[in-house]
Structure 1
Amino acid sequence: MNKIITISRQYGSGGRQIGKKTAEIFGIPFYDSEIITQAARESGFAEQAFEKAEEKATNSLLYSITMGMNAYAAHDYGVAGLSVDDRIFLAQSDVIRRVAEEGSCVIVGRCADYILKDKENVVNIFICAGLDFRIQHAVSQYGLSSTKAAESILKYDKRRANYYNYHSTQRWGDVNNYHLSIRSDFGGIDHAVNCIKAFLEVE
C-alpha cells in the first residue's frame, strides 16, 4: 500500500484512536502532535506557539481579523508580511508535505487533507459520531464530567472548523472534501478501523 491517509474528526469521535490503529494495522508511521514537535524544532517556534495558534481559532471573527490582515499584506509584500500564526501554519505545512513524500503514513488533523490536496495517493477520511457517543467517549478517555465534555465538544469543533476554514478554500466537515466518512458510534472504534482497511484494500 502506498497511501497517505488523512483523518479529520469531530471532537470525541475517536478519530485519533482510529488513525493510530489504522497505522498499526498497515505498519506505517502515525502523525498527530508529532507534526507540531517537528515543525517547532525546525522553525524555532515553541510548541506552545502552535497550540496557541489553534486556540485563537475559537472565535472566527477575531481569528479572521488578527490573521487575515497580515495574510493580505503577505500577498503584496512577501513572507516578511506574514503574521507569526501564518508562519507557524507554513512551518507545519512543510513538515506535513515532507512526511507525505517519505512514504505511506496516517496524519490526523492539521488541515493535512487540504495541504496535500494535489497529491494523487492521498485518501481523506472524516470521522464523526452522535453527541451522546462523543460525550461518553470524552468522559472515558479524557476524564471529563458530562457537562464539561459537552462544552469541550462545542469548543473544539468550532475551533477546528474556524482554523480549517481560514487556512483553506474548503469547509471543514463538507462531505465533498473526503473519500470516506464514518460514524464511529455505529459499531465502535474497531469497526471504523476495519471499514478503513477494507476501503483502502479495494483502492
Structure 2
Amino acid sequence: MDNLFLKYMNKREGKNEKPSTPIGNPGPVITISREYGCHGKRIAQKLAGILTAKSAASGENKEWRWISKEILEESAKELKLSSSLVKELSDYKHSHFFKDLALFFSEDYYPGDATIKNTIAKYIHDEAEQGYVIIVGRAGEAITKSINRSFHVKLEAPLEWRSQVVSEEEGLSPADAKKECQIQDKRRAMFRDYFEKGKKDIDFFDAILNCKALSDEEILELLIIISETRGFI
C-alpha cells in the first residue's frame, strides 16, 4: 500500500509528513482472512497459545496475541464513535444512511468512509510492527504485506459446506444460512477491495487453505511449521 493510509491520516490531522521512527525489525505477524463460516478466530486463539508455549520452551518468552474485535474497538476510540457503529459502517450495512449523513455533516463531525478505513488500517499496521500478533480479518494481509516477517493465510471452503456450518451454529434455515454467507462474503470483499484495489488473492496471500478438507488441528500444524521455518518462534 506504500503507507498511503498513513499519509492520509497525517494530512487529515494537519501533521507535517515526516518519517516516523522505524522499528528495527517489524513483526512477526500472521494474518488470517476467512470466508464466512470458516473459523478464523478459533484458529487464531489456539495458534496464539501454541506459539506462546513454544516461545517459552525455547527460552525466548515472547507472548503471542491475537486481535479481531480489538481492531474496531481501538479504531472507534480514535474516531470517537461506538465500536458497533464503526463495524456497521465499515461493513457497508448502512451505506445509504451513511451517504445521507455526508450531505449534511462535514468530516469534522462525522468521519467519512476513507477516514474510518484508514484509521482501522493504522491501528492494524501499528500492532503488526510491534510483532508477535495474529490479525484476524479487516484486510490485514494487504495492510501488513510490506512487513518482511509476515505470513498471510486465507481460509476458504465450498459455499454449501459453510452454509451448513452457519445453519447449525446460528440456528438458521439452510437457505437463510447460504444467503448470510453470501452477504457477509460480499461485505468482506468490499472492505478488502479498498486496500487491495481489485488485485487477485495471489498478490496478498501466501497460502489458501480449505476448511472442509482440513481440520483445525491440521491447519494449526501447517501454520506452526511455517512459523518455525520462518523463524517466528
What TM-score do you get using the length of structure 2 for normalisation?
0.71
Correspondence for 1:76: none
Kept after mapping to 2: 8 A contact 1:10/1:128 = yes
Equivalences for 1:107-118 in 2 at 5 Å?
107-118=135-146
2:223 aligned with 1:196, yes or no? yes
Task: Work out the CA distance in 2 between the residues paired with 1:19 and 1:191.
Answer: 13
Correspondence for 1:146: 174
Kept after mapping to 1: 8 A contact 2:66/2:133 = yes
Correspondence for 2:84: 48
Kept after mapping to 1: 8 A contact 2:167/2:174 = yes
Kept after mapping to 2: 8 A contact 1:16/1:108 = yes
Higher RCO structure (Cα 8 Å, ≥6 apart)? 1
Correspondence for 2:152: 124
| Secondary structure of 1:56's aligned partner | coil
Correspondence for 2:65: 29
Correspondence for 2:43: 18
Task: Work out the CA distance in 1 between the residues paired with 2:89 and 2:184.
Answer: 13
- Shift, 1:57, TM fit: 7.1
Kept after mapping to 2: 8 A contact 1:164/1:171 = no
Kept after mapping to 1: 8 A contact 2:124/2:140 = yes
Equivalences for 1:138-177 in 2 at 5 Å?
138-171=166-199, 174-177=201-204
Task: Work out the CA distance in 2 between the residues paired with 1:161 and 1:101.
Answer: 24
Kept after mapping to 1: 8 A contact 2:143/2:195 = no
Task: Work out the CA distance in 1 between the residues paired with 2:73 and 2:85.
Answer: 11
What runs of 5+ residues in structure 1 fail to find an aligned partner? 67-78
2:132 aligned with 1:100, yes or no? no
Paired residue total? 186
Kept after mapping to 2: 8 A contact 1:13/1:133 = no
| Secondary structure of 2:224's aligned partner | helix
- Shift, 1:89, TM fit: 1.2
Kept after mapping to 1: 8 A contact 2:32/2:134 = yes
Change (3 A) 1:39 1:58: closer
Task: Work out the CA distance in 2 between the residues paired with 1:88 and 1:191.
Answer: 36
Task: Work out the CA distance in 1 between the residues paired with 2:195 and 2:81.
Answer: 19
| Secondary structure of 2:91's aligned partner | helix
Aligned AA (1:34): E
- Shift, 1:170, TM fit: 4.4
Task: Work out the CA distance in 2 between the residues paired with 1:138 and 1:17.
Answer: 15
Q: Could you report, residue by residue, the CA deviation over 1:69-118 in whole angstroms, capped at 9, with x for unpaired residues?
A: xxxxxxxxxx97x9522111121112112211222110011111111121
Task: Work out the CA distance in 1 between the residues paired with 2:69 and 2:223.
Answer: 22
Q: Could you report, residue by residue, the CA deviation over 1:34-92 in whole angstroms, capped at 9, with x for unpaired residues?
A: 11111112331221221122332798xx8xxx5xxxxxxxxxxxx97x95221111211
Higher helix share: 1
Task: Work out the CA distance in 2 between the residues paired with 1:112 and 1:58.
Answer: 23
Task: Work out the CA distance in 2 between the residues paired with 1:5 and 1:58.
Answer: 31
- Cα RMSD for the two superposed structures: 2.7
Correspondence for 2:118: 90
| Secondary structure of 2:146's aligned partner | coil
